Amino acid sequence: MSQSESVRKTETIPQWKQDEVDELVEFISSYQSVGIVGVQGIPSRQLQAMRRDLHGSAAIRMSRNTLVTRALEQADDGLEQLTEFVAGQIALVGTNDNPFGLFKQLEASKTPAPINAGEIAPNEIVIPEGDTGVDPGPFVGELQQIGADARIQEGSIQVLSDSVVLDEGQEVDQQLASVLSELGIEPKEVGLDLKRVYSEGVLFSPDELAIDVDEYYADIQAAAGAARNLSVNAVYPTAQTAGSLIAKATGEAKSVALAGAVESPDVLGDLVGKADGQVRALVSQIDDPEALPEELRDLEADAEDAEAEAADESADEDEQADEDDTEEAEADADDGDDDDALGTLF
Same domain, 7 and 98: yes
The residues near 261 (Cβ < 8 Å, ≥ 6 apart) are 271
Residue 204: inside a domain, yes or no? yes
End-to-end CA gap in the chain: 128
Lowest mean pLDDT among 25-34, 132-141, 161-170, 293-302: 293-302
Same domain, 62 and 207: yes
Q: What is the CATH number of the domain that holds 199?
A: 3.30.70.1730
Radius of gyration for the chain, computed over Cα atoms and rounded to the nearest angstrom: 43
- Count of structural domains within the chain: 3
Same domain, 155 and 87: no
Residue 288: inside a domain, yes or no? no
Q: Is the dihedral of CA 8, 11, 13, 17 positive or negative?
A: positive
Same domain, 140 and 262: no
Residue 118: inside a domain, yes or no? no
Residue 336: inside a domain, yes or no? no
Long-range contacts of 75-83 (CB under 8 A, 24+ apart): 75/25, 75/28, 75/29, 78/198, 78/201, 78/203, 79/28, 79/34, 79/198, 81/196, 81/198, 81/203, 82/34, 82/35, 82/36, 82/196, 82/198, 82/203
Same domain, 86 and 156: no
Report the pLDDT value the prediction gives residue 343, as an integer from 0 to 100: 40
> How far is it, in rounded angstroms, from Cα 278 to Cα 287?
17
Same domain, 228 and 141: no
> How far is it, in rounded angstroms, from Cα 136 to Cα 132?
10
Residue 148: inside a domain, yes or no? yes
Quick: pLDDT tens for 64-107.
Answer: 999 999 999 998 778 999 999 999 999 999 999 889 989 988 98
Q: Cα–Cα–Cα angle for 312, 315, 321, nearest 5°?
A: 145
Mean pLDDT, residues 171-193 taken together: 90
Q: Which residues of 110-143 are buried (b: 16+ CB within 10 A; e: fewer)?
A: eeebebeeeeebeeebebeeeebebeeeebbebb
> How far is it, in rounded angstroms, from Cα 34 to Cα 196?
9
Same domain, 39 and 162: no
Mean pLDDT, residues 317-337 taken together: 53
Flag whether pLDDT at 195 surpasses 90.
Answer: yes
pTM of model > 0.85: no
Q: Cα–Cα–Cα angle for 128, 134, 139, nearest 5°?
A: 85
Mean pLDDT, residues 249-261 taken together: 81
> How far is it, in rounded angstroms, from Cα 195 to Cα 102?
12
Same domain, 134 and 73: no
Q: Which residues of 319-333 are buried (b: 16+ CB within 10 A; e: fewer)?
A: eeeeeeeeeeeeeee
Same domain, 81 and 206: yes
Same domain, 95 and 132: no
Quick: pLDDT tens for 199-221.
Answer: 999 999 999 998 877 888 899 99
Quick one: which of 162, 152, 31, 22 has its CA closest to 94? 31
Q: Cα–Cα–Cα angle for 262, 263, 265, nearest 5°?
A: 125
Domain stops at, among 258, 282, 306: 282
Residue 147: inside a domain, yes or no? yes
Domain stops at, among 141, 170, 186: 186
Same domain, 41 and 62: yes
What interhelical angle do 15-29 and 65-75 show, nearest 10? 50
> How far is it, in rounded angstroms, from Cα 148 to Cα 127?
7
- CA count, 13 A, side-chain hemisphere, 237: 7
Flag whether pLDDT at 118 surpasses 50.
Answer: yes
Alpha helix (H) residue ranges in 154-204: 174-183
3-state secondary structure of 204: strand
DSSP string, 48-114: HHHHHHHTTTEEEE---HHHHHHHHHHH-TTGGGGGGG--SSEEEEEESS-HHHHHHHHHHT-EEE-
Domain that holds residue 155: 125-186
Mean pLDDT, residues 276-303 taken together: 65
One-letter identity of residue 14:
P
Same domain, 34 and 93: yes
Q: Which residues of 144-177 are buried (b: 16+ CB within 10 A; e: fewer)?
A: eebebebeeeeeebbbeeebebbeeeeebeeebb
Q: What is the CATH number of the domain that holds 133?
A: 3.90.105.20
Domain stops at, among 211, 246, 264: 211
What percentage of residues in the chain have a pLDDT greater than 70?
79
Residue 292: inside a domain, yes or no? no
Residue 227: strand pairing partners: none
